[in-house]
Amino acid sequence: MVAAPQKIIISGYYGFRNSGDEAVLQSILIALQKHSLATGIVLDPVVLSIDPEWTTAAYGVKSVHRMKLGEVRSAIAGSAGLISGGGSLLQDVTGSKTIPYYLGIIKLAQWMGKPTFIYAQGIGPVNRKLFHPLIKSVFRKCSYISVRDEQSRELLQSMGLDWNKIEVVPDPVMGLSLPEDQVPSSKGALSPPAVQTVGISVRFWEQSRGELDAITEGLLKACKQTPLHLRFLPFHHSSDNEASRYIMQKLENEISQYGGVVSICEDALHPQQMLREVGECDVLIGMRLHSLIYAAGRRVPLIGISYDPKIDHFLERVGCQPIGTTSSLDSGKLAAEVLQLLSATDEWKLNREPLIASLVQEAEAPARQIVEYFRRKG
């Protein structure tokens, strides 16, 4: 007998057209559905989004505006519980209002007597110490806590939370699959048959744009050695589009003389479209965390450029190290790594397959735990 549907609220950075965060949502939805079907539990997701109509159209789920308190309160009141995550929700690098917002949503659910679940979040950096007791107060009342790396667990422990109640799991996107023949490729510029494709995911970070200039020089040096298709993959529209075009404008005058091709994918708004794009690359250079996670999931050799500890933490989990940081990036080293990986793709895949396969399998752990909670409760 199948149980009656139960609404579950999902809170995160959704509806902003950030491919990484949209992939987190897609991954959570798929994992919840999979484990719900396996146990006979019916969960009806309601997503808090900055653009509810777009979210509903993209994922086929109910959605309410994340900034309209009345709608949020009503949705939570009619739900069986709330999931917060994944992604880097609890950090104060991007602003001082981020942590209060996400903690406030969780606290609202707790005030209403709803179980709350932390789903594979990356915690920190939390530079304002005044947030530490607030995070501890809210998290200790959660029914389940999972984080995406050991450093997040250590940070929560330093705030006074019980180490044993925090599960370390991979980022949910490691479990994102590509339903063949369902999501059309948005690839507009195909590589010439003999040319290998290097995917590039960049963002603005340094004020000087020094990291983008170094990437430009590195790509030119690699292209001088062998013709390449440089495929720019903006993960956050429209800022990443602008960062990509900053490099493209510097490349286009020179790249053709080396037999290379430059293109940009600007219409892959659905995460599975971008996942397919990444899967068609031979190597990926990434600043965005989820560009690197996509690459690992599709077994594409990757080169990470670090601007945040979360990049280093993920690279460590897949047996890699950043090629450099945004403040110190050697163009010659970047070019050499691109050429080396292009010549040793199979070896890279073989060496990392056990690690990546394990992460893919473990990525569904939070969904399994949440569904199990409702099964026991029912």
Give the full edge-to-edge strand order of the sheet including 81-87.
Answer: 62-65, 43-49, 6-11, 81-87, 116-121, 144-147, 166-168
Residue 181 pLDDT: 39
* pTM as predicted: 0.90
Instruction: For 202-230, write each residue's pLDDT tens digit.
Output: 999 999 999 999 999 999 999 999 999 99
Partnered with residue 47 across adjacent β-strands are 10, 63
Instruction: For 314-329, write each residue's pLDDT tens digit.
Output: 999 999 999 999 999 9
* Strands 116-121 and 144-147, sheet pairing: parallel
Residues recorded for the chain: 378
Residue type, 166: I
Instruction: For 217-272, write each residue's pLDDT tens digit.
Output: 999 999 999 999 999 999 998 899 999 999 999 998 888 888 899 999 998 888 99
Give the distance, in angstroms, between the CA of residue 258 and the centroid of all CA atoms in the same chain. Answer: 34
Q: What residues contact residue 292 under an 8 Å CB cut-off, 6+ apart?
A: 284, 286, 302, 304, 311, 314, 315
φ/ψ of 250, rounded to 5, equals -75, -25
Where would I find the beta strands (DSSP E) of the chain? 6-11, 43-49, 62-65, 81-87, 116-121, 144-147, 166-168, 196-201, 228-232, 261-264, 283-286, 302-306, 324-325
Residue 342 pLDDT: 98
* Strands 43-49 and 62-65, sheet pairing: parallel
DSSP helix/strand/coil, 363: coil
**Rounded CA separation 146/58 (Å):** 26
Scanning 140-266, the segments in alpha helix (DSSP H) are: 150-158, 210-225, 239-255
- Angle ∠(293,31,6) on CA atoms, nearest 5: 140
Average pLDDT, the chain: 93
Q: How many CB atoms lie within 10 A of CB 304?
A: 24
pLDDT at position 369 over 70: yes
φ/ψ of 17, rounded to 5, equals 65, 25
Q: Is 322 exposed, middle or buried, given 0-12, 13-18 or 19+ CB atoms closer than 10 A?
A: middle
**Rounded CA separation 118/183 (Å):** 29
Q: How confident is the model at residue 184 (pLDDT cuts 50, 70, 90)?
A: very low
**Rounded CA separation 269/240 (Å):** 13
Cis peptide leading into 331, omega within 30 of 0?
no
- Which of 176, 227, 205 lies closest to 286, judged by CA? 205
Q: How many CB atoms lie within 10 A of CB 374?
A: 19
Instruction: For 290-304, write each residue's pLDDT tens digit.
Output: 999 999 999 999 999
The DSSP call for residue 226 is S
**Rounded CA separation 19/25 (Å):** 10
Scanning the chain, the segments in alpha helix (DSSP H) are: 19-39, 52-59, 69-77, 98-111, 131-139, 150-158, 210-225, 239-255, 271-279, 289-297, 309-317, 331-343, 345-362, 365-377
Instruction: For 120-130, write each residue's pLDDT tens digit.
Output: 999 999 999 99
Q: What is the set of domains in the chain, with CATH numbers? A: 6-169+363-377 (3.40.50.2000), 196-359 (3.40.50.2000)
Q: How confident is the model at residue 187 (pLDDT cuts 50, 70, 90)?
A: very low
**Rounded CA separation 299/293 (Å):** 10
